[in-house]
Chain A
């Protein structure tokens, strides 16, 4: 698939995310929209996993530590054939397996998450097992920038470097926001590059909405032999919908009818722009 095809997919994914959240009248809109381009690249270009290979011991693993952005994950899993598209309609419904955070009841999901600050430690465990068993799989995990305030991340960070886990890649969805407001105001984590470097990781920073940059960088892992990889993805919370971008109230806000219509219209316009060969950077 070309970059353009993936960019078009991102637009479709955003529509599906909003449609599922609208229907459920629940969900984490802002963070799903900020990470969906990352998931797009991971599932369509990087991860060596499919519904057929999901039980293979050598599959690549993806652990979504920022579990609240589960709608983006469900949409990707549906697109990749792990779950039927129609399941997206059951998000958060009575008796549904599609809970508002990832669970292993859903095919394609490796780990139950939703309490922040767990994914990195679990990923260290999986990566460590890969080293012990001399298996070539890689482990990818997605963290929120607000999530990094959890101390467990820094314990895992030490461990990953200590064990030389170059098969582990953590991606930070650095959208600068959390529930209360700016991450800089709530609990500053910058300079993030310096912190992770000091902990013994190799750090790269990209535009987290740029398919080409994300792809080129993620294809390069391991960045250095013997060191864990950190990819800082600079993103915009609520990306793609003008009135959601950078607005903290969309962390777990869900659209009403008119907001939904406006959002879909904006995405349709973005789609047309892309197919017209415009809107490329």
Chain B
């Protein structure tokens, strides 16, 4: 059995921005030759005067977004996550976060969504880079429901926010009634181990729990979705009543969800066996998103194996 596949989160992002923009004339979208990748053609047709195109110029994109936001506009700045968060990092840090202009930065085709286009197009650094910037929340929806709720919340979020989306059709994770930025969702309880996952990796953790059931192991899944602020209360509680914890993310092993959890839990004195599954610090293998995930063990089988090792160690 597998999760019901929905639309891509980007499509839901686009629909929801249109819905919000219909109700709030302050909402603007700004793009850098990225409306196609951002699935924003429908927005452009519906609100031709409320989409601003700056061309292939991500630094300019973020600077202009900050300026627009400073006048009260509610700006969604949409660009591939790789370029948005690497190239325009200083604009994000100074013009948006430090100056406290509530821009919603939308990183599209994130992680290894661009697969074989290679490392220039991957964003495996964005969690690390952005976590270190004060006054910037980071939200990574895992399915259509989380996406819709996150985008609705973003429109009225009064501080800088980064939303990160992949581009594949997303499976439905279930439990559609409890989304709140900064509050992790327990998708599946489990007595034995727990997967702490984010974004497009959550579904793989859910699948892994089914494989583990075959070994009579009862494992749970937490969809973190908000990397910052991190829901440390839920994390600590869940960690304390688990025999093993595996974090899962579509990011470098350096500086992402896993390290954030490790830092928090060890300082809280939680000694549950712990393992980070992420993209290792190496030259990333060529392949589709799926192939890269499988290669690095971000697959149902790989995750089940990691959990099993940890539980049996």
Q: Judge whether B120 and A117 touch: CB under 8 Å.
A: no
> What is the chain A residue whose CB lies nearest that of B294?
A94
Across-interface contacts of B59 in A (CB, < 8 A): 151
State the CA gap A161–B146 with chains docked (Å): 51
Task: Name the distance in Å between B111's Cβ and chain A's nearest Cβ.
Answer: 16
Which of B66-109 touch A at CB < 8 Å? 82-83, 86-87
Residue in contact with B286 in the complex, picked from A92, A115, A147, CB distance below 8 Å: A92
How would residues 288 to 302 of chain B score, 1 for a CB under 8 Å from any chain A CB and 0 otherwise?
100100010000000
Residue in contact with B118 in the complex, picked from A24, A101, A146, A187, CB distance below 8 Å: A101
> What is the chain A residue whose CB lies nearest that of B285?
A95
How would residues 113 to 157 of chain A score, 1 for a CB under 8 Å from any chain B CB and 0 otherwise?
111110000000000000000000000000000110111000000
Residue in contact with B121 in the complex, picked from A96, A114, A186, CB distance below 8 Å: A114
Is there a chain B Cβ closer than 8 Å to A19's Cβ? no
- A115 with B285: in contact, given A100-B118, A186-B55 (CB under 8 Å)? no
Q: Judge whether A146 and B121 touch: CB under 8 Å.
A: no
Across-interface contacts of B287 in A (CB, < 8 A): 93-95
Across-interface contacts of A187 in B (CB, < 8 A): 33, 53-57
Across-interface contacts of B134 in A (CB, < 8 A): none
State the CA gap A46–B209 with chains docked (Å): 60
> What is the chain B residue whose CB lies nearest that of A147?
B56
Is there a chain B Cβ closer than 8 Å to A67's Cβ? yes
Which of A24-74 touch B at CB < 8 Å? 24, 26, 67
Task: Name the distance in Å between A179's Cβ and chain B's nearest Cβ.
Answer: 5
Q: How many residues of A contact B (CB 8 A)?
A: 32
Task: Name the distance in Å between A185's Cβ and chain B's nearest Cβ.
Answer: 8
Across-interface contacts of B117 in A (CB, < 8 A): 26, 92, 99-101, 114
> What is the chain A residue whose CB lies nearest that of B292?
A94
- A99 with B53: in contact, given A113-B120, A114-B121, A180-B35 (CB under 8 Å)? no
Residue in contact with B36 in the complex, picked from A97, A146, A180, CB distance below 8 Å: A180
Q: Give A residues with C-beta under 8 Å from B.
A: 24, 26, 67, 92-101, 103, 112-117, 146-147, 149-151, 178-180, 183, 185-187
25 pairs of residues in contact across A and B, judged by CB atoms under 8 Å: A24-B116, A26-B116, A26-B117, A92-B286, A93-B286, A94-B288, A95-B285, A99-B117, A100-B114, A101-B120, A114-B117, A115-B83, A115-B120, A115-B121, A117-B87, A146-B55, A149-B54, A179-B33, A179-B34, A179-B36, A180-B33, A180-B34, A180-B36, A183-B55, A186-B55
